[in-house]
A and B are shown apart, each in its own frame.
Chain A
Amino acid sequence: MRKIFWIIWKDLAIELRSREVTGAMVLFALMVLVIFAFSFLRPGEKLPPEMIPGVIWVTVAFAGMLGLNHAFLPEKQNDTLTGLILAPVSKSAIYLGKVGTHFLFLLLVEIIALPLFFIFFNIQMQGSVLYLVPVLFFGTAGFSGLGVFLSALSVHTKSNELLLPVILFPLLIPLLLGGVKATGIVFNASWADPVWVGAYWSWLRLMAVFDIIFFTLSLVLIDYVLEV
């Protein structure tokens, strides 16, 4: 457990100095927001409410994707991945450490991008912003968990950057669907109506189940997948 923390600490210390990964992710998120702002906003008009969840999840998915390319790639530089596997840490601890780092990076992007999103598009929410928190949490955790697992799988393939999204996106569909639907409800639906509230909870449940399934599978399989 403590070793997971140390792996995250190491990655954060490196990132704090280079800011390569989070810098790119944040810039990317801003670019997406700005492009959406240009294309959807006319003077005096508001963003069509159906677009809101789309804008949010496109930003999260693409920034997250960018981060995944840097999950294991830097560990190849001096073959530090071999150093990690050689050390008395389980592969699942290495995996969880990498998930932790990616999760924190993506969370940072969300924390920076969301307020800007509200400002850019002048959004008013129907539900409380607090309802958005578990949706983003399960969405981000699931994305990081599955994404880091798949990037461990493709560490050795030359076409790393192509293979990853090709497998990742189809598998992510249930999670993204849940995220988009639940987010839509938080922003647009009437929270006095128990039907919508029920729908919100069931989309959230879908995301939680997705996370549990893929985390369990990843932890079982990572021993066979993560190789030097």
Chain B
Amino acid sequence: MIRGENISLKLGEKTILRDISLVVDPGEFVVLLGPNGAGKSTLLKVLALILKPTSGRVIHKYQGSDREEDIKRKIGFLSHRSFLYERLTAWENLEFYGKLYQVADLTRRAEEILEQVGLSYYCHDPVYTYSRGMVQRLSLARLLLHNPEMLFLDEPFTGLDQKGGEILTETIKVLHEQGKTMLMVTHYFDRGVDLAGRILVLNKGSKVFDGKLTSSDLRDIQEFYRAQVETE
């Protein structure tokens, strides 16, 4: 479970997040929508403990200890930046992150996850030789390597082709069925949004909508979304 209490974030004079409170329950799948510059990526970073809010707090609760280090081991974060080292091979990247996350039985786990994303054959090539889609697959491997419980996905479909998009949609579906908690930012209304039980809309740093959508709403979600953003 994750709870944000009155999160605000200021960078210099600029207020990027304004008094946002939210709770995401275990197993929930929440989609975060909003126009460019609304603060979606920033909110995700604050919730994933990458950025400290100026005021307010973020509380994560999982089974096991409450030490920050143990909490971070339960968090996965996928963005359109890969977090990968170009000069290292896929294998070395996973090995490095695996060590940081103290993944048990790392060699086996890395082999397994590379197999899963279909990169086994290329795993000893440096990442700079990879195509965009291969990098994205490796990011996915990095995301799943330590088997996180809480997943943050920031525009995960960006840069993927049709096939890559389908693989990702499938992966997201599986993760959802496994009972992972997910918070996803996306601009693609036709991908994943139908899986989400709940929608959050952010505009100019404030939360303007938070709630479940009925299936009839879902059909014209774009209209709905536009209405939310334009009433601001």
Contact = CB atoms under 8 A, between A and B. Distances in A.
Interface of A: 2-3, 6, 9-10, 13-14, 17-18, 77-80, 82-90, 227-228
Interface residues of B, number: 30
Contacts of A86: 48-50, 72, 75, 77, 83
17 contacts: A3-B100, A6-B99, A6-B100, A14-B85, A14-B88, A78-B85, A79-B83, A80-B84, A82-B77, A83-B83, A83-B84, A86-B49, A86-B50, A88-B72, A88-B100, A228-B50, A228-B51
Nearest to B135: A78
Contact of A89 (B85, B87, B100): B100
A85 to B, nearest CB: 5
A89 B50 CA distance: 11
Contacts, number: 71
- Chain A binding surface SS class: helix
Contacts of B101: 87-88
Given A3-B99, A10-B96, A88-B100, A80 B85 contact: yes
Contacts of B73: 88
B51 A79 contact: no
A78 B126 CA distance: 14
B82 A78 contact: yes
Contacts of B77: 82, 86
Nearest to A156: B11
A128 B76 CA distance: 55
Given A82-B50, A86-B48, A88-B101, A10 B85 contact: yes
B144 to A, nearest CB: 14
Contacts of B166: none
A89 B72 CA distance: 9
B83 A82 contact: yes
Given A10-B85, A80-B85, A83-B142, 18 more contacts: A3-B100, A6-B96, A6-B100, A9-B96, A14-B87, A17-B87, A77-B86, A78-B84, A79-B79, A80-B83, A86-B72, A86-B75, A88-B70, A88-B72, A88-B73, A88-B100, A89-B100, A227-B51
